[in-house]
Amino acid sequence: MTRAQQHISIAALLSSIYLACFMGFVPFPAKIQQDIIPVLPFWAIVSFGAYLLFKLGYGVLTFNDVPQAHKELMAQIDQARTELKAKGVEVD
């Protein structure tokens, strides 16, 4: 199963559960049924957006904290250049 199929399956499952709750097939107290369940999709979208903004901010905050990875990547690039030059490929 590909990742897209997994995401589609999860989205279909969650939407069917939500629709069952929204249509009243799953019994809830009246207060929950009228006040909470109708706004769950908006709450989920806002929560997901907040999570993504946090991940983006944290990634920007810790962006320069990987000098060892930079050195390792540059060494791998130099190694690839020397191997390609040995095989006769011109690399700029």
State residue 63's pLDDT score.
Answer: 75
In the chain, which ranges are continuous DSSP H helix?
3-22, 30-31, 40-61, 67-86
pLDDT classification of 57: cutoffs 50, 70, 90: very high
The pLDDT tens digits of the residues spanning 59-76 come to: 888 877 678 888 899 999
What's this model's pTM, rounded to 2 decimal places? Answer: 0.60
What mean pLDDT comes out for the span 78-82?
Answer: 94
CB 47 within 8 A of CB 55: no
Separation between Cα atoms, residue 80 and residue 87, nearest integer Å = 11
